[in-house]
Chains A and B, each alone.
Chain A
Amino acid sequence: DAKTTQPNSMESNEEEPVHLPCNHSTISGTDYIHWYRQLPSQGPEYVIHGLTSNVNNRMASLAIAEDRKSSTLILHRATLRDAAVYYCILRDGYNNNDMRFGAGTRLTVKP
């Protein structure tokens, strides 16, 4: 699996936007960029994924750099419930390999 690099932790204020960065300089052409999050004492939860174009859903937006070597997960208005560990994961769409988690970014949201 191609590796990703994320900051260990980030802080945000409630109701402000949050930009969570991820570097994946060795990404291959068939790697999809996936984001999951894990709330305290819960299982991981799918957030969003994309290949080349920016993506939006009801939870978040995913901005992918033109060279695909980095991406940013955007939470438009952080709430206390968004406090979690956020994982950026690459999955090879061609080989259909399975998902491996790194350490992720622990997001703290301050009221």
Chain B
Amino acid sequence: EPEVTQTPSHQVTQMGQEVILRCVPISNHLYFYWYRQILGQKVEFLVSFYNNEISEKSEIFDDQFSVERPDGSNFTLKIRSTKLEDSAMYFCASRRTGWAYGYTFGSGTRLTVV
């Protein structure tokens, strides 16, 4: 079964550093998403992306965050200057066009900011 692949699985970074989290969505999916989950809390929506532009973003997704689809396969989330409170699991998801299909999530990247 096709999978959404996320790398790295775990990243440790110093506060103030930039990080890029990478995702390879399923090849025939056109909608892409980033979510995050702080330890012990609920899964929070960050941003959705379609047709090479952001469709919707939450209040969490401020100027420190950006997304990009640099080529035909990768979808990245960049955090420009990480803060301690950015420590969380970050999940990428994708879906096909149409209401018959659900989201497929990756296994996540655990980001630890120290």
Q: Which residues of A contact B (CB under 8 A)?
A: 32, 34, 36, 38, 42-47, 49, 87, 93, 97-104
Number of A-B contacts (CB under 8 A): 46
Which one of B48, B104, B107 lies within 8 Å of A98 (CB-CB)? B48
Can you name the residue of chain A whose Cβ is closest to the Cβ of B47?
A98
Asked if B99 and A46 sit within 8 Å, CB to CB, the answer is: no
Closest approach, in angstroms, between the C-beta of A14 and any C-beta of chain B?
25
Q: How many residues of chain B have a CB within 8 Å of chain A?
A: 20
Closest approach, in angstroms, between the C-beta of B69 and any C-beta of chain A?
17
Q: How far is the CA of A22 from the CA of B56 in the complex (A)?
A: 26
Closest approach, in angstroms, between the C-beta of A93 and any C-beta of chain B?
5
Q: How far is the CA of A42 from the CA of B43 in the complex (A)?
A: 12
Asked if B99 and A32 sit within 8 Å, CB to CB, the answer is: yes
Q: How far is the CA of A44 from the CA of B48 in the complex (A)?
A: 16
Q: How far is the CA of A38 from the CA of B91 in the complex (A)?
A: 12
Q: Contacts A34-B102, A36-B102, A46-B103; is A98 near B42 (CB within 8 Å)?
A: no
Q: Is there a chain A Cβ closer than 8 Å to B25's Cβ?
A: no
Residues of A within 8 Å of B99, CB to CB, are 32, 93
Asked if B43 and A101 sit within 8 Å, CB to CB, the answer is: yes
Can you name the residue of chain A whose Cβ is closest to the Cβ of B45?
A100
Asked if A98 and B105 sit within 8 Å, CB to CB, the answer is: no
